[in-house]
């Protein structure tokens, strides 16, 4: 098919041409005296994205999933109690991992479409008077349902309960695109990956840990080797890595950090909010519902619910095969019930309008009762009015 594929899955995301060009490099000696000149500023600038001065940033040759494991195994001991709310495929997988790693996991079910219930969290932590819960696992942006939880509110709930648990946050689809404040919110472990807001290929787990979390490594008894934070700390101190880094990834990250910091984080957050608002206007104009309940709507991905007599898989399939448009599928419990429009990373008004036009064609082809141009029109007016 002529023309490019139009990529609107919420990860991997579009890679800016500047980043692609920066990654087109030869192999390089990662033990050379020059290597720290590349590596040290990467860690320093990653801290700016996480918004931490007190914490440490790390780059692992891995993905977001490894970030979950890094947080758990470096700071906890087998059998430790951890608490997590399950309201989508990613919170589900993190809980499942914690179980597989041998922790005592309390999984609290919430409706898919809602996020972390702050009152319930505070009550549970208050009830844990012996402080048996060692870590609370928070999925900041549940990519499966397009739900964002209030991590500042989580910190308030933890403080109100005067609870010392570590706070680990999955920010794979939020960090570098949604407001995230590691130090201000007292986050002990912030987990992200290269292929979403960072606009890179998959293969980088970018994580940051507080001093409290680093200290917990000293007494944590979970076995760990490749994902050991202490090995990273020791090598990173001099600007090196404990094993061979992906050189193209590091040059790509250099460019991606430059782009994000040049735009300014507040502007990056505002752009994602505006593009998401336009998406929500389009969905409303089609007469469709979002999976996210009011107050939880994500600015990086919108999950759109199809009526009960329709199959979202057909919409996604038509979009891909007929229009070369990649939409996100519904995962596990919402398979067939939702399709997802990603608006994370290297996006602007016109790229979003292209997605809405493609979605409209796929909806019409599948017998949805929508007016051609309705969603595009609503978004056009919103984007023009707020440009």
Number of residue whose CB is nearest ligand PLP: 64
> Of 143 and 279, which CB lies nearer to ligand PLP in the complex structure?
143
CB of 92 to ligand PLP, least distance (A): 10
Q: Confirm if 52 and 182 have CB atoms less than 8 A apart.
A: yes
CB of 341 to ligand PLP, least distance (A): 15
CB of 206 to ligand PLP, least distance (A): 10
> Of 11 and 358, which CB lies nearer to ligand PLP in the complex structure?
11
Residue 313, classified by CB atoms within 10 Å of its CB into exposed (0-12), middle (13-18) or buried (19+), is: middle
Residue range at the interface with ligand PLP (CB under 6 A); choices 59-67, 152-160, 247-255, 320-328:
59-67
11 binds ligand PLP (CB under 6 A): yes
Q: Could you give the count of Cα atoms lying within 13 Å of 78 in the half-sphere of its Cβ?
A: 7
64 binds ligand PLP (CB under 6 A): yes
Instruction: List all residues 6 or more positions away from 281 whose beta carbon is below 8 Å from its beta carbon.
Output: 375, 378, 379, 381, 382
> Of 90 and 382, which CB lies nearer to ligand PLP in the complex structure?
90
| Chosen residue from 20, 63, 242, 336 binding ligand PLP by CB under 6 A | 63
Instruction: Work out the angle at residue 298's Cα, subtended by the Cα atoms of residues 297 and 301, and round it to the nearest 5 degrees.
Output: 125
Using CB under 6 A as the binding rule, the residues of this chain from 125 to 184 that contact ligand PLP are 139, 141, 143, 170, 172-173
H-run or E-run covering 362 = helix 349-365
Q: Residues 177-216 vs ligand PLP: string with x where CB under 6 A?
A: ----------------x--------x--------------
The DSSP bridge partners found for residue 58 are 207
Question: Helix, strand, or coil here: 176?
Answer: coil
Site size toward ligand PLP, by CB under 6 A: 13
Q: Residues 65-104 vs ligand PLP: string with x where CB under 6 A?
A: x------------------------x--------------
Of 197, 114, 146, which Cα lies nearest the Cα of 330? 146
Question: Helix, strand, or coil here: 11?
Answer: coil
CB of 180 to ligand PLP, least distance (A): 13
Q: Confirm if 279 and 343 have CB atoms less than 8 A apart.
A: yes
> Of 64 and 248, which CB lies nearer to ligand PLP in the complex structure?
64
* Residue 105, preceding peptide bond in cis (omega within 30° of 0): no
Cβ atoms within 10 Å of 320's Cβ, excluding its own: 16
**Contact positions toward ligand PLP, by CB under 6 A?**
11, 63-65, 90, 139, 141, 143, 170, 172-173, 193, 202
């Amino acid at each position: 098919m002529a023309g490019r594929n139009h990529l609107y899955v919420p990860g991997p995301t579009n890679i800016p041409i500047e980043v692609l060009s920066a990654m087109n490099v030869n192999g390089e000696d990662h033990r050379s005296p020059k290597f720290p000149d590349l590596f040290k500023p990467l860690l320093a600038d990653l801290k700016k994205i996480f918004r931490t001065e007190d914490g440490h940033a790390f780059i692992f040759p891995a993905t977001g999933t490894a970030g979950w494991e890094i947080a758990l195994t470096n700071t906890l001991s087998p059998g430790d109690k951890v608490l997590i709310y399950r309201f989508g495929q990613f919170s589900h997988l993190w809980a499942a991992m914690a179980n597989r790693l041998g922790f005592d996991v309390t999984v609290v079910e919430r409706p898919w479409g809602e996020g972390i219930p702050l009152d319930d969290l505070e009550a549970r932590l208050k009830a844990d008077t012996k402080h048996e819960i060692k870590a609370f696992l928070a999925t900041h942006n549940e990519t499966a349902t397009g739900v964002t939880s209030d991590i500042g509110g989580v910190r308030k709930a933890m403080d109100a309960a005067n609870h010392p648990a570590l706070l680990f946050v999955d920010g794979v689809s939020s960090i570098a695109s949604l407001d995230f404040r590691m130090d201000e919110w007292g986050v002990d472990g912030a987990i992200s990956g290269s292929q979403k807001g960072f606009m890179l290929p998959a293969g980088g787990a970018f994580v940051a840990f507080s001093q409290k979390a680093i200290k917990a490594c000293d007494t944590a008894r979970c076995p760990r080797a490749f994902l050991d934070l202490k090995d990273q700390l020791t090598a990173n101190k001099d600007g090196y890595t404990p094993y061979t880094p992906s050189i193209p990834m590091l040059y790509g990250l250099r460019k991606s950090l430059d782009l994000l910091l040049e735009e300014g984080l507040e502007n990056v957050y505002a752009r994602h909010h505006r593009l998401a608002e336009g998406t929500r206007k389009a969905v409303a104009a089609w007469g469709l519902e979002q999976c996210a309940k009011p107050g939880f709507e994500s600015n990086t991905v919108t999950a759109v619910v199809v009526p009960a007599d329709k199959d979202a898989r057909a919409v996604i399939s038509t979009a891909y095969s007929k229009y070369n448009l990649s939409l996100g599928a519904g995962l596990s419990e919402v398979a067939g019930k939702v399709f997802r429009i990603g608006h994370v990373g290297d996006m602007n008004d016109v790229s979003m309008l292209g997605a809405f036009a493609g979605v409209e064609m796929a909806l019409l082809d599948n017998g949805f009762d929508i007016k051609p141009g309705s969603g595009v029109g609503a978004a056009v007016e919103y984007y023009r009015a707020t440009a």
